[in-house]
Amino acid sequence: MAVESGDEDDLSINEQAISASEDEEGSDDERKHKKLLEAISSMGGRKRKKQSERSEASVQVSEFFVNAEGTGEKVNISDLLGTVEKTSGAANKTKKQLRNLQNSKGTLALPLNKQQTEKIQRGIAYEKTTKEVSCWQNIIVQNQKAEQIVFPLNQESLGPKQVEQVVAGWKAQTPLEQEIFRLLHSNSHPVNDPVLTPVEEASLKAMSLEEAKIRRAELQKTRALQSYYEAKAKREKNIKSKKYHKIQKKGKRKEFLKQFEEMVKTNPEGALEELKKMELSRMEERMSLKHQNSGKWAKSKAIMAKYDDSARKAMQEQLQMNKDLTQKIVVPSDDEHESNEEGLETVPDFVNDPEPIIDPVNPWMRVQLTHEEPEVSCVTTDEPQTAEQENEEEELIGEFERKRKLRQADEEDLIPTEEQSKRAGLKKILAQNEVVEEDVVEVSDKEEEEEEEDEEEEDVSEFNTLFRLMRNEKTLEGTNQTPQGLNTPEREDEEGLLNEGQIRVRNIEDLEILDEDTAVGEATSEPPNKKKSEIDLKKVLTKDAKVVKVPFLPTVVEEEDHGEQISIIKEAFAGDDVISDFIKDKRKQEAAGKPKVVDLTLPGWGEWGGVGLKPSRWKRKRFRIKMASSPPRQDRKLPDTIISENRNTSIASHQVSQLPFPFQNTAQFESCIRTPIGQTWNTQGVVKKMTKPKVITKLGAIIAPMVKEDFINKTTTSAGKGPAIMLGENKRANKGREWSSAKHQGRRGSQKRKKQQT
Amino acid sequence: MAALVPEVLTSTHVEKMNKKKPPKRYWEETENTDQRRPEEEQGTAVQNQNKSTVKERSLKRKNGESLEKKDPFSGEAPIPHKQLQKFQRGEKYKVPAGARQRLKEAIISSEAMSELAQKQAARYDLLLPEDAGFLEGDEDEDTNTISQDDIADAADITSGSKYFNLHLSQFGPYRLDYGRTGRHLLVGGKKGHVACIDWQSKDLMCEMNVMETVNDVKWLHTEAMFAVAQKRWLYIYDSKGLELHCVKKFNDVLRMQFLPYHFLLATASATGFLQYLDVSVGKEIAAICTKMGRLDVMSQNPHNAVIHLGHPNGTISLWSPNQKEPLVKILCHRGAVRSLTVDKTGTYMVTSGLDRKLKVYDIRAFKPLHSCFLPAGASCLSLSQRGLLSAATGDIVQVYQNVLGSSPVSKPYMAHRLQGQIWGLAYCPFEDVLGIGHGEGFTSMIVPGAGEPNFDALDTNPFRSSKQRQEWEVKALLEKVQPELIGLDPGQLSKVDQASFEQRHKEHVEALGFDPLAKDKFKPKTKKKGRSSAGAIEKRKRKVAHEDQRDKIRQTVQERTERDKEQKEKSNEKKNLGNKSTLDRFRK
């Protein structure tokens, strides 16, 4: 393609050259002939590139094969193009542009016909007008939505004005004032708030040299420290020994605990923060199953635990960790309480604990003297009963732990007896917080035995262990359920024998009338899906009466026995059984309300008919139309009530039966009109607000149509963040800007108008 | 744009001062400054001359901070939740998701308005300053043993003068009626004696003998007119005793009730007819044949203007003038109903029957709350504005407190013995007074805590002048409620007429060819990478299918679980209470 086009270009060059030379030299046959020949040769399929020959002498001789033809002529595009094609360095873009230029040398296109031009003009005009008109859109929507519009729109507000507004209207007029303000502005002096100049502010902000030095030194130091710390941490992190990390962690935890206790005393706020952290860790723990017995390691340990003591211990430790972490932390409530609590803390908690050596039979001995809830951590308990249980349980755990430690310390060489293993099992149960149905009696028996056994050992070391365990107990407190708590049903059974509860005394009347409570019980015991179409006689008039004591009895009526009264009443109304009458009435109403079956069978149609012959079954099935069942009666659950199902048509004419526009369902509409607007139900102010007119026109004032400048100005001023008070030139400058913009708009508007006219 | 507001000033000199405060940075410790403030306050309060605090204060002043004074009670005064709840009207409606803009605006604005109304009403509740009275006995002294004379002696003179007797033994047992404002008393003896009295000043307005049996008397809307049900016809007199009308359409009337907001006089006759007379135009609105025999027990529900009738077969029927059959029929007693009354809020109904029982019903649910047995059943019942129940048993009037609660009563609050059979009982509005009409005349009894202490002066003003009365009359007539609006639910008018709405909607849909109110069908989005295959689309559709139904199910399930939980708790409580043993005292 490129080559071809190149050839053509050459041709054209030649042609032009010829035509130019013709003018110069006049008619020349030779040339004409040559041209003809060339034309002929060009028509042939093969195109040879011809080199133009130098035919005559010329002043300028180029070394690049350029003939001197057409010297002093204007440069044509085609000339340029030819060279561009040849030079590889020329930009593609320019190449393209030039080519396009050349291609477009054809004749001018015909002007569009009238219809089309008009169409295009209309389109443009439409676009312009929409643009112009759509700037009204906002204001119109706003006015439509407005709760109230006061006409004429831009009224000056009456009444006293604010000082700032009055001041804002003032301009610097005299040359002196102008000069003053110019000075102020040129020095960027604040006009509105003359407290500090910017220079002063800047100077205030600046630091002295010494300060800066100190600051720099500080920063350097912290940076260095940080880098040291980072290096250390990295080093420690690279240590791969698990044991090392374990020990580290333990040490850290211990230290932390120590610190925390100190912090509680010295810096309660810091302690609070720490508590928050603990809370966070608790959350994390509760979310994850990290220290539960479900992990791979834990499972393996659980299997091992049966035989291996250390595994068991490890397992327990892990569970303990979980428990510790998941424990709820109670924040000390107030500063006032804190001082109290601190005072209390000096007396150890175990003072109030029951003595370990006790008579197990005597229930009083088990009771803690005065029990305060621990301030650091405890579970918030609703019932005092659970608190007790927890206390007892805590004791139990403490006991176990104490013994274990004693055993470890003193008699490690002892062979674990059967009982011990039992105990361990029990311990496990307690620790794991499992729900196990176990007899309380058994547990308590065991406990007692153990207590008796360990009495002597405990005597000496008990105090130390107690101290040691104090904190543990605190944290342990209130986490677990008691085995005793689990066994409450049994206890209830036992106590059933010694029941102190009220005994319901039934009247004679009550024999026939069912108590409501029992009815409820029956209802629960009965299968719920049982149909109750039949009205139960016993369910009508079910309320039992309570006899009222009266200070003085009426003189007219003699005192009678309750039973006698009933018999008398029964005699009096032997004839009319009101209840059955009522039920009959109700049945009747129900039956009347039920939809009737429409029978369309035609006897004798398609089969034999006559006396004693019934239409066949299929026919009856086919032609008896059952109407849709009516909605359930309102009184279906009220045996002694009949509620009329008739629709109240009288009110319908006053009701709304068509939803107004924006509402899509009745609930929306009803909720919108649920608040009355009358004076009877509302305060005066609310009534006024609710019933204020949508449009207010001022009497006698001319209401001019809205002008575009009105709202446009408004929006610009509201959007602008300029200071409320502008004095002097500043203000004027602003005004000038506004004015110029308005003018500009006006001009633009006039232009548009002109365009529309054309 | 709407209302013209003076241009809002973004900043003033004063405000600039406030803004001088350096901005708080997050790295600066916030706690320290917080702590400092209370310290400072304490220092100023105790005049503590601690050096550090003084220094801080001076520092602050330099910064210009202490110049501003913070309002310790900024914003509106809070309104107690209880008070707000008192004035709540219906549930708040949330804007549904995906609602159109206009709908959203409408709902939001109406919600804002109703919230404002509620808040303002709760605020203005402050303007009801009066408290109700009460009677308190000494230790181990029953209030019902305190005699009226003692109370009258102990109380101030004006209150004491409210206990009085009118000895009118000649014309047999009296019926009575107090006017709506509580100033005027109308008594009618069975043997024809009719008198109206301004009972507080003991000023006799008129007195006459109609020379006929008088079955019932009733004030009409003002104290200028009253109706008397005589032996044959119903008569209307003015306060001077002049006979204004003899309404011959109303015969053998036994009991009457006046519905003040509808201007309707409802009458129950011996022939079993319940008739309504519009006293503003003098027209009979409705005549209903109840087919229940003699109607001599009647009461009105002030909440919804429904008439309650008691019948000899132990039932109570509720009537409106718009329906020829009873709205509701309740079987209350095994014997005939002797008397019934409905409380002011229209929540409770108290009935007494020949079976000597007194029953309290919740007439919103039509369920009996509790019943008690009176040794001699109550022949007359009346509920006061504040819920005290008075019951006439033979010649004794007993007043009960807290009857309308859930627990049954065991003994009366007050009691008073009279001579002769009691024929009429009525509480005086806005007064702690119970009027008793009996065989020997009339007794006004003091019952502390009976009357509503705060009155609405625009509605019923006990102290209104005649001019005010006239104005009120005009206003009341303008605001007259049409009898068609009487029904069980007084809020029916504010609801859309569902039946005709549906009908209309159906027609509309037929005409249009589509349902304009229908919800748009769920259109699954087209997704790429083969996730918009037919199967996938079907799956996605199924995910959102029956969403509303699912919501409903979810809700019911939740409700059920809650109910179960409650029941369980209740039963647990019962168990705990029931299984008290002797060993319980050993428990901590």
pLDDT value at position A254? 92
- A651 interface with B at CB cutoff 8 Å: yes
Write down the domain spans for chain A. 115-151
Q: How many CB atoms lie within 10 A of CB A690?
A: 16
**Taking CB atoms and an 8 Å limit, are B458 and A680 in contact across chains?**
yes
**Taking CB atoms and an 8 Å limit, are B2 and A542 in contact across chains?**
no
- Beta carbons within 8 Å of B425's beta carbon, 6+ residues apart: B380, B381, B382, B390, B392, B397, B434, B435, B436, B437
Q: Which residue has the higher pLDDT, A283 or A716?
A: A283
Q: What is the distance between the alpha carbons of residues B449 and A736, in angstroms, rounded to a whole number?
A: 76
Tokens of B249: 């359409």
Angle between helices A175-186 and A728-757 (to 10 degrees): 90
Report A:459-498 residues touching B (Cβ under 8 A): 492, 495-496, 498
Residue of B nearest to A676 (CA): B114
Residue of B nearest to A577 (CA): B334
Where is mean pLDDT largest: A60-69, B229-238, B367-376?
A: B229-238
Could you report the per-residue pLDDT of B299-308, keeping only the tens digit for each?
Answer: 999 999 999 9
**Taking CB atoms and an 8 Å limit, are A549 and B410 in contact across chains?**
yes
pLDDT value at position B232? 92
Q: Count of A–B CB contacts within 8 Å?
A: 321
Q: Which residue has the higher pLDDT, A336 or A660?
A: A660
In the structure, what pLDDT confidence band is assigned to residue A199 with cuts at 50, 70 and 90?
confident
Q: Which residue has the higher pLDDT, A13 or A278?
A: A278
What average pLDDT does chain B have? 86
A127 membership: H or E segment, kind and range:
helix A114-134
Q: Quick check: pTM over 0.95?
A: no
Q: Is residue A23 pLDDT above 60, yes or no? A: no
Q: Is residue A230 pLDDT above 60, yes or no? A: yes
Could you report the per-residue pLDDT of B305-346, keeping only the tens digit for each?
Answer: 999 999 999 999 999 999 999 999 999 998 899 999 999 999
Q: What is the distance between the alpha carbons of residues B349 and B346, in angstroms, rounded to a whole number?
A: 8
Give the distance from residue A643's alpha carbon to the nearest chain B alpha carbon, in angstroms. 4
Residue A35 region by backbone torsions, left for phi larger than 0, else alpha for psi between -120 and 50, else beta: alpha
Could you report the per-residue pLDDT of A40-61, keeping only the tens digit for each?
Answer: 877 765 555 555 565 666 665 5
Angle between helices A2-25 and A77-86 (to 10 degrees): 140
Strands B203-209 and B389-393: unpaired
- Beta carbons within 8 Å of A371's beta carbon, 6+ residues apart: A352, A387, A391
Give the distance from residue B256's alpha carbon to the nearest chain A alpha carbon, in angstroms. 24
* Single-letter residue type at A592: A
Q: Spell out which residues of chain A touch residue B291, defining contact as CB-CB under 8 Å.
A: none
Could you report the per-residue pLDDT of B8-57, keeping only the tens digit for each?
Answer: 444 444 444 444 566 666 655 544 444 444 444 444 444 444 444 444 44
Where is mean pLDDT largest: A551-555, A611-615, B51-55, B113-117?
A: B113-117
Q: What is the distance between the alpha carbons of residues A36 and A239, in angstroms, rounded to a whole number?
A: 99
Report A:385-444 residues touching B (Cβ under 8 A): 385, 388
pLDDT value at position B349? 95
Residue that has been written with the tokens 């008075």 in this structure: B390
Upper half-sphere CA count for residue B340 (Cβ side, 13 Å):
35
Q: Which residue has the higher pLDDT, A237 or A123?
A: A123
**Taking CB atoms and an 8 Å limit, are A552 and B322 in contact across chains?**
no
Q: What is the mean pLDDT of residues A705-711?
A: 80
pLDDT value at position B528? 85
Q: What is the mean pLDDT of residues B273-291?
A: 95
Give the distance from residue B241's alpha carbon to the nearest chain A alpha carbon, in angstroms. 34
Distances (CA, A) of A277 to A132, A282, A324: 62, 8, 14
Where is mean pLDDT largest: A104-113, A234-243, A565-574, B445-454?
A: B445-454
pLDDT value at position A729? 41
Q: Spell out which residues of chain A touch residue B492, defining contact as CB-CB under 8 Å.
A: 648, 651, 655
Q: Spell out which residues of chain A touch residue B90, defining contact as CB-CB under 8 Å.
A: 671, 674
**Nearest Cβ partner of A638 from B145, B366, B458?**
B366
Q: What is the mean pLDDT of residues A531-560?
A: 54
- A136 interface with B at CB cutoff 8 Å: no
- Beta carbons within 8 Å of B28's beta carbon, 6+ residues apart: none
Percent of chain A with pLDDT over 90: 12
**Taking CB atoms and an 8 Å limit, are B90 and A541 in contact across chains?**
no
Could you report the per-residue pLDDT of A354-378, keeping only the tens digit for each?
Answer: 444 444 455 444 444 444 444 443 3
Query: Where do runs of H (alpha helix) occur along B498-544?
Result: 498-512, 534-544
Q: Is B395 exposed, middle or buried (0-12, 13-18, 19+ CB in 10 A)?
A: buried
Q: What is the mean pLDDT of residues B447-469?
A: 92
Q: Is residue A727 pLDDT above 50, yes or no? A: no
**Nearest Cβ partner of A155 from B4, B123, B577?**
B4
**Taking CB atoms and an 8 Å limit, are A148 and B3 in contact across chains?**
yes
Q: What is the distance between the alpha carbons of residues B217 and B168, in angstroms, rounded to a whole number?
A: 17
Q: Is residue A724 pLDDT above 50, yes or no? A: no
Tokens of A231: 């290096």
Q: Is B514 exposed, middle or buried (0-12, 13-18, 19+ CB in 10 A)?
A: exposed
Q: How many CB atoms lie within 10 A of CB A317?
A: 11
Strands B441-446 and B164-167: antiparallel
pLDDT value at position A122? 96
In the structure, what pLDDT confidence band is assigned to residue B227 with cuts at 50, 70 and 90?
very high
Tokens of B179: 């006017």
Q: Is residue B199 pLDDT above 70, yes or no? A: yes
**Taking CB atoms and an 8 Å limit, are A685 and B120 in contact across chains?**
yes
Q: What is the distance between the alpha carbons of residues B248 and B269, in angstroms, rounded to a whole number?
A: 13
Q: Is residue B409 pLDDT above 70, yes or no? A: yes
Q: What is the mean pLDDT of residues B481-494?
A: 92
pLDDT value at position A161? 74
3 state DSSP class of B22: coil
DSSP code of residue B511: H
CA angle A187, A192, A195 (to 5 degrees): 75
B352 membership: H or E segment, kind and range:
strand B348-353
**Nearest Cβ partner of A548 from B99, B117, B373?**
B373
**From the centroid of its chain, how far is CA B410?**
26
- A369 interface with B at CB cutoff 8 Å: no
Q: What is the mean pLDDT of residues A298-322?
A: 84
Q: Is residue A250 pLDDT above 60, yes or no? A: yes
DSSP code of residue B496: B
Percent of chain B with pLDDT over 70: 88
Percent of chain A with pLDDT over 70: 49
- The gap between the terminal CA atoms of chain A, to the nearest Å, is 49
Report B:558-577 residues touching A (Cβ under 8 A): 575, 577
Contact B142, A551 (CB under 8 A): yes
3 state DSSP class of B436: strand
- Which among B488, B109, B124 has a CA at the least distance from the CA of A673? B109
Q: Is B289 exposed, middle or buried (0-12, 13-18, 19+ CB in 10 A)?
A: exposed
**Nearest Cβ partner of B1 from A139, A363, A559?**
A139
The four Cα atoms B125, B128, B129, B130 give a dihedral, to 10 degrees, of -140
Query: Where do runs of H (alpha helix) occur along B7-155?
Result: 13-19, 30-46, 51-63, 81-86, 101-124, 148-154
Contact A410, A457 (CB under 8 A): yes
pLDDT value at position A408? 61
Give the distance from residue B440's alpha carbon to the nearest chain A alpha carbon, in angstroms. 16
Q: What is the mean pLDDT of residues A657-678?
A: 90
Percent of chain B with pLDDT over 90: 60
Report A:524-583 residues touching B (Cβ under 8 A): 540-557, 559, 565, 569, 572-573, 576, 578-579, 581-582
* ipTM exceeding 0.85, yes/no: no
Selected for mutation to probe chain B from A672, A673, A696 (highest B CB count within 10 Å) is A672
Contact A668, B103 (CB under 8 A): yes
Query: Where do runs of H (alpha helix) occur along B396-545?
Result: 466-478, 498-512, 534-544
Q: What is the distance between the alpha carbons of residues A5 and A580, in angstroms, rounded to a whole number?
A: 116
Residue of B nearest to A497 (CA): B581
Give the distance from residue A509's alpha carbon to the nearest chain B alpha carbon, in angstroms. 12
Torsion sign (Cα): A518, A520, A522, A525: negative
What average pLDDT does chain A have? 67
Concatenated DSSP letters of B243-287: EEEEEEEEESEEEEEEETTTTEEEEEETTSEEEEEETTTTEEEEE
